[in-house]
Amino acid sequence: MEVELSETHLGLFKALASPVRIKIIQILAKQPMNINELSQRLSLSKSIVSMHIQKLNAAGIISVASRPAKNGRQKISELSVNYIGIKLSDSFERAFSHYDVEMPVGHFTNCAVTPTCGLATKQDYIGNLDDPQYFMDPHRVEASILWFSSGFIEYKVPNFLKATQKLQQIDISMEISSEFPFANNNWPSDISFVLNNTDLGIWESPGDYNDRRGKLNPSWWTNNMNQYGLLKTLEITQQGTFMNGDKISEVTVKNFIRQSEYWNLTFKVEKTADHPGGLTIFGKDFGNYPQDIKFKFYS
């Protein structure tokens, strides 16, 4: 979730301005719970916990759903978002022009992957699971999710910048996670990013999540599969390369001053990495965010 700093989102800001509600968010980040369980963990009455849950629910931070229990049904609270960003100013966008490209997950141009691996569309799997050959199946362009244990996958994006335009910044937004057979919330993976043969840096993915169902997943996608990723934005700026604001390398846009016909973005997971935990890329029909891989080029 990313919001602008405005009175429109005052309910969200108020919901976060409470030590108790922060504690509830931290607890629910580990596992969904009902009111009784939260009450015991917090040593607070159920009525007080319920009041805090209502405020978090109204702000869109958590969701509450009725689920079967031993004695009928119970209301379970779980996180609805795993990231909240506050956009303090749009001065950068006002100062520079930009062009956007949203690249479908299945529109990769080159790859070499190892099992466990697979691809799927909104309707079904593409070919057989754990068979890398299907990454070259013509139907791969329809994929809205893909995953592999090690290797690389490459996307080619058109460069619409004119020779007279000066590149100021590149933003790349995607929903990604690690890859583990079925899923594992605690499964770190060192994911490398390469742009036009320049290493941008490594980001450590915490896990491959299935503690709750992804909001966009089709009904046939089983609950034991990975469900969602983290929404990450890779920013290549004048000061370095950042992942959601955390610096991952000293590479700047000056490394890409030379004009090229295309931008080649590569996702890699090396077998020799400290945490070779695979990669999952979620497209607009899977996970929690209705988007593919978004590129924004400022000039």
CATH number at residue 278: 2.60.120.260
Considering the domain architecture, whether residues 45 and 65 belong to the same structural domain is answered as yes
Residue 158 to residue 297: CA distance in whole angstroms: 11
The total number of structural domains that make up the chain: 2
Q: Please check whether residue 26 lies inside any domain of the structure.
A: yes
Residues whose CB falls within 8 Å of the CB of residue 179, separated by 6 or more in sequence, listed in order: 116, 117, 147, 148, 149, 189, 208, 226, 277, 278, 279, 280
**Are 121 and 142 members of one domain?**
yes
Among candidate residues 48, 79, 110, the one where a domain is terminated: 79
Judge whether 86 lies within some domain. Answer: no
Same domain, residue pair 72 and 118: no
Final residue before a domain boundary, out of 79, 111, 128: 79
Whether 47 is covered by a domain: the verdict is: yes
Q: 172 and 227 in one domain?
A: yes
Same domain, 191 and 292: yes
70 and 116 housed in the same domain: no
Question: Would you say residue 203 lies in a domain?
Answer: yes
Same domain, 238 and 190: yes
**∠ Cα 238 174 159 (to 5°):** 55
Query: Cα separation of 284 and 30, whole Å?
Result: 25
pLDDT in single tens digits along all 299 residues of the chain: 667 778 888 888 999 999 999 999 999 988 899 999 999 999 999 999 999 999 998 888 988 888 787 778 888 998 877 778 777 756 556 567 889 999 999 999 999 999 999 999 999 999 999 999 999 999 999 999 999 999 999 999 999 988 888 899 999 999 999 999 988 888 999 999 999 999 999 999 999 988 888 999 999 999 999 999 999 999 999 999 999 888 999 999 999 977 788 999 999 999 999 999 999 999 999 999 999 999 999 98
Give the separation between CA 104 and CA 143, rounded to whole angstroms. Answer: 8
Joined together, the tokens standing for residue 178 give 């690690």
Provide, rounded to the nearest whole percent, the portion of the chain with pLDDT above 70.
Answer: 97
Please indicate, yes or no, whether residues 163 and 199 belong to a single structural domain of this protein. Answer: yes
Q: Are 258 and 187 found together in one domain?
A: yes
Q: Residue 12: inside a domain, yes or no?
A: yes
Judge if 124 and 161 occupy the same domain.
yes
* Stated pTM of the model: 0.78
- What pLDDT was estimated at residue 90? 60
Q: 160 lies in a domain?
A: yes
69 and 196 co-located in one domain? no
Mark whether 246 and 166 lie in a shared domain.
Answer: yes
Which of 47, 79, 111 is at the close of a domain?
A: 79
pLDDT of residue 89: 59
Q: Rounded to whole angstroms, how far apart are CA atoms 5 and 13?
A: 9
Q: Which residues span the domain enclosing 15?
A: 2-79
In a domain? residue 15: yes
- pLDDT tens sequence across 167-178: 999 999 999 999
- Which two structure tokens, joined as six digits, stand for 281? 């890329």
Amino acid making up residue 177: S
With contact defined as beta carbons under 8 Å apart, do 146 and 194 qualify?
A: no
Domain CATH for 33 = 1.10.10.10
In a domain, 85, yes or no: no
